[in-house]
Amino acid sequence: MIVKHLGLTEYSQTYEAMQQFTRERSNTDPDELWLCEHPSVYTLGLSEQSTLTPLRADIPCVKTNRGGQITYHGPGQIVAYPLVNLSRLNFFVREYVFRLEEAIIKTLNHFDVTAHRVASAPGVYVNTQDPHGHGVLRAQNSGPKGSASEPNFMGLSKIAALGVKVSRHFTYHGLALNVAMDLSPFSSIHPCGYEGLNTTDLRSLGLVLNCADVQPVLAEKMQTYLSP
């Protein structure tokens, strides 16, 4: 896998570049991992574009073709775009998403932060009251009715979001990990479509880190978990 560090890049420019790369690549081209930060931007997945409403006049909003709903990107957040050939890796999409989450979880473990999955809600979550504890939370299960469509976020805040697109077995879009950012734009949306879902970052958990500290660890974990 070729790893490219793009620095601070405009979202729309990177989005167009991902699509072009995916259109033009062949089955024999090596996979790539693009790592960057974006200036402030809201992005809409396919699930929420029909209900687009103005959010904040000072932050642009871009429609995309990824799965999922609405999220926010901004400086202090690592955005990782794995451009991989699922057919060559012999992964189905569900396993691919699991592996992306696992790479994030292991990255957070590296910094002594315990991370959690939530059933039916892709992404990675932390217990802000006990970010280093290893207890299994009830929030990892579905909601009180036991429905897979009712995730239970009790005690958890979201620290990383996922949104993927697969075309001809090639992936693009990816994940965003909050490191040390202005979290206030999240308060203007329902993150990933969930009203009342809290978001957090590593700085809010008491870790004095920036993207340059975390990015090499995330890149290494993603290379590990996106290997055959």
Query: Torsions phi, psi of 13, nearest 5?
Result: -65, -45
Which residues participate in catalysis according to the annotation? 192
Q: What is the DSSP letter of 68?
A: S
Rounded Cα distance between 142 and 121, Å, is 9
Strand partners, 148: none
Q: Examine the pLDDT at 91 and tell me if it is beyond 60.
A: yes
Q: Which tokens is 154 given?
A: 């009790």
Q: What percent of the chain has pLDDT over 90?
A: 67
Q: What pLDDT was estimated at residue 52?
A: 53
Q: What pLDDT was estimated at residue 47?
A: 72
Reported confidence tier of residue 145, pLDDT bands at 50, 70, 90: very low
Q: Examine the pLDDT at 210 and tell me if it is beyond 50.
A: yes
Helix axes 93-110, 211-225, angle to 10 degrees: 140
| Structural domains for the chain | 2-93+160-225 (3.30.930.10)
Which whole number is the average pLDDT over 54-69? Answer: 84
Q: Which tokens is 92 given?
A: 């189905």
Q: What is the largest CA-CA distance in the chain?
A: 47
Residues 6+ apart with CB under 8 A from 213: 179
Q: Which tokens is 28 given?
A: 């024999």
User: Which stretch, 65-74, 115-124, 138-147, 157-166, has highest mean pLDDT?
Assistant: 157-166
Q: Examine the pLDDT at 137 and tell me if it is beyond 80.
A: no
Q: What pLDDT was estimated at residue 142?
A: 42
What end-to-end distance do the CA atoms of the chain give, in Å? 11
Query: Torsions phi, psi of 135, nearest 5?
Result: -70, 150
141 in Cβ contact with 116 (< 8 Å): no
Reported confidence tier of residue 144, pLDDT bands at 50, 70, 90: very low
